[in-house]
Amino acid sequence: MSRPKPLSGYPEFTPDQRIVEQSVLDRLRETFELHGFGSVETRSVEPIDRLAKGGEIDKEVYAVRRLSAPPEAKADLGLHFDLTVPFARYVLEYAHTLQFPFRRYQIQKVWRGERPQEGRYREFTQADIDIVDTGELAAHHDVEVALVTLAALERLHDDLGLPPVLMRVSDRRLAQGFYRGLDIEDPTDVLRIVDKLDKIGPDAVRDLLTGEAGLSAAQADSCLRLAQINTADESFADRVAELGVKHDQLELGVERLAEVVRTASRYVPGRLVADLKIARGLDYYTGTVYETELVGYPNLGSISSGGRYESLASDGRTSYPGVGLSIGVTRLLVPLLAEGKITASRSVPTVILVAVDNEESRDTAIAVAERLRRRGISTEVAPKADKFGKQIRHADRRGIPYVWFGGLEGGEVKDVRTGDQGPADPDSWRPAEEELRPTVSRS
């Protein structure tokens, strides 16, 4: 059988890269739980019609169909393209068992059938947090999810050396109110076009606004002036007012966004800015929207995004409004790993290899390993009773820093890196604390 070719858009990590990924996921979990979010995992598939309600995403959905199904049978299930839509279904299905406001985090794979490119994959891992309530969700949760997400990303920076981030925030009510104040009948089309500003530039956006959206040149110019407002404080509100547009929804959006920016500036100064071109492409967002960039990686796009949604979860009688943010773990890690910017100190969790004198003494080596494992020390037993030099080289190739020689009594430990060797007891020997687990650092 010939060597298989990799599938584009489905990244797979080596063991040392997985150590980096697991270190990232561990810190995300710990941060989310520190803020009172409980873990949820949903199924991988949802009915196609429910996925389609999440917005203009038909081209992104992978349909699921049995190979033995009749040719005329249509696929009625699809792989989820994000974690928000399945979470909304989960809330509706289990609302009778949940306590509201309900706070959840979810770390899972998602799938999108789009063209693979840098930062975009067909299978990838996301880490989400959401807060939902019944009937009405308090406005303060909009800034809360932003602060929690920034805390998680700051921890990745502090603990693992990942680059810092900058979160950009806007509010759909602000933009939609502004557009309605300009007598634009369909703000949704304008939002989608303006959301492309960073990708295609102002001239192309103006052409789309006057062409596809049917705006006048004056309306298009006003939309662009709004989209180009970007401030690190509440001064964006004054700049919006200078544009001279009036609408109740615009005023509400300005008020809510100012609250988010004002609160964030107290707790994470310099990490969140008001950027009025942020719109988010999915239809279900109704209020605050967020996008987060990795500083120094402008071409990567947003590595964390989300927003407020009012009616994504509704059974016709009760609505469950929510707000949430998603961290694209795979999008964040792949370029850093590919460039060698972040690495693990070793490729295996093993701290020490127990050498085997001969196959007759393997039971003794296993007994030593068990003593060490009981004390939380990751241990392997040598696969072959080779000459000790070969066993040391095997440990070195595996990235294992120590080798144990001897039995339960009279044992010795060798540091493969320095060559130092000395007596040791399996009930008391312990490596330095920082060597118990592989560490991750920025290169």
Residues 6+ apart with CB under 8 A from 289: 169, 170, 171, 172, 278, 279, 280, 305, 306, 307, 308
Write down the CATH number for the domain with range 15-343: 3.30.930.10
State yes or no: pLDDT of 279 exceeds 80: yes
Model's pTM, two decimal places? 0.92
Is 126 annotated in some ligand binding site? yes
Q: What is the pLDDT of residue 282?
A: 67
d(CA 285, CA 311): 9
Residue range 55-73: mean pLDDT, rounded: 78
Instruction: Look at the block and give the residue holding tokens 């309605």.
Output: 180
**Please, what is the average pLDDT of the chain?**
93
Is 206 annotated in some ligand binding site? no
Is 130 annotated in some ligand binding site? yes
Domain layout of the chain by residue ranges: 15-343, 352-442
d(CA 285, CA 295): 25
Burial profile 377-401: b = 16 or more Cβ within 10 angstroms, e = fewer: bbbbbbeebeeeeebbebbeebbbb
d(CA 393, CA 179): 69
Q: What is the pLDDT of residue 381?
A: 98
Q: What is the pLDDT of residue 118?
A: 74
Is 83 annotated in some ligand binding site? yes
Is 280 annotated in some ligand binding site? yes
Least confident of 67-71, 270-274, 414-418: 67-71
Return the CATH number of 352-442, one of 1.10.10.10, 3.10.20.30, 3.40.50.800, 3.40.50.300. Answer: 3.40.50.800
Q: Over the stretch 392-431, which tens digit does the pLDDT of each residue have?
A: 999 999 999 999 999 999 999 999 999 999 999 999 999 9
Is 183 annotated in some ligand binding site? no
Residues 6+ apart with CB under 8 A from 433: none
Residue range 363-392: mean pLDDT, rounded: 97
Q: Is the dihedral of CA 285, 286, 292, 298 positive or negative?
A: positive
